[in-house]
Amino acid sequence: MMECKKALIKTDGDYDAAVKLLRELGAAVSAKRAEKAAKEGLVFAKKCPCGSKIAIVEVNCETDFVGNSADFKAFVDKVADAALDGETDLEGKLAEDKKALIAKVGEKVEIRRGDKLELSGPGVLASYIHLGGKSGVIVEVGAEKPETLEAPEFQQLVKDLTLQIVASAPRWLDRTQVPADVIEAEKEVNKKKLENEQAEKGGKPKPPEILEKIAMGQIGKFFGENCLVEQAFVKNAPGVKDTVQKVVDGVAKKLGDKIVVRRYVRYQLGA
């Protein structure tokens, strides 16, 4: 309110000129805050009313206080709407809104990223935002029968998958998505560890082909930690070691359908 009053005084009560001045101030504040770190903010997801599209965005600011403010949340909602509409240049699209927000809150604001998923076949899109916007996920899960989508078991499975992805932070959906150079690097690490262990024990070095075989066998643990469908299910009871894929297959068998996790996007605030 004080900034508005100052602008009106400077423009002799000219409302339009005062608005222009405030917008210019927004640009000035933006430049002044450019070197400040913007690591707070929100991860936010939004689905279209028909359920066929869902977007996730991350918008950053400098403090938790601004990140939790109504003005900041309203801006984040606009960003999500733009992402949902397929806008790829979110910064350009919302440049004026961002300037106005910066002028109001006096902090650096950045639209860091945005992604959108559209249904690629029969199935559902779902989202989950954790810890008030600190992390979030959107996921697409497919099924062949329309009645499956309404089944409580399927709906619970989809919810559990969003929790799994947020909690366990898989890097890939399955092992087919892991780049070959990443697998090779992991294999070399395993081989080096084996060589070092043998050297420490003073044993005879194993032949290269044997080392290769053992190292490749050990890479299963890497897949189990980093690939969603091979991770241990987060809701396993004590002593149970079911993978996500086994849980998905169990629900599919119960419903007499084929269920597949098609893709997901996970955001961690500031990461």
Report pLDDT digits (tens) over 42-81: 999 999 999 999 999 999 999 999 999 999 999 999 999 9
In a domain, 177, yes or no: no
Using CA atoms, how far apart are residues 84 and 133, in angstroms rounded to an integer?
A: 18
In a domain, 36, yes or no: yes
* Mean pLDDT for the stretch of residues 118-133: 95
* Mean pLDDT for the stretch of residues 84-105: 94
In a domain, 23, yes or no: yes
In a domain, 179, yes or no: no
The per-residue pLDDT of the chain, averaged, comes to 89
Domain assignment of residue 28, given as a range? 1-118
In a domain, 209, yes or no: no
In terms of Cβ atoms closer than 10 Å to its own Cβ (0-12, 13-18, 19+), residue 69 is middle
In a domain, 69, yes or no: yes
Using CA atoms, how far apart are residues 79 and 75, in angstroms rounded to an integer?
A: 6
**At CA 72, angle to CA 69 and CA 78, rounded to 5?**
140
> Residue written as tokens 């001045």?
21
Report pLDDT digits (tens) over 164-216: 999 999 999 999 999 999 998 888 888 887 877 777 777 677 777 887 788 87
Number of domains comprising the chain = 1
Report pLDDT digits (tens) over 240-249: 999 999 999 9
pLDDT(264) > 70: yes
In a domain, 29, yes or no: yes
Residue environment code for 182-214, b if the CB has 16+ CB neighbours within 10 A, otherwise e? eeeebbeebbeebeeeeeeeeeeeeeeeebeee
Report pLDDT digits (tens) over 205-241: 777 788 778 887 888 889 999 999 999 999 999 999 9
Under the banding of pLDDT at 50, 70 and 90, the label for residue 20 is low
**30 with 57: CB under 8 angstroms?**
no
CATH of the domain at 85: 3.30.479.20
In terms of Cβ atoms closer than 10 Å to its own Cβ (0-12, 13-18, 19+), residue 23 is middle
Which amino acid, residue 59?
Answer: V
Provide the whole-model pTM.
Answer: 0.80
In a domain, 139, yes or no: no
**127 with 136: CB under 8 angstroms?**
yes
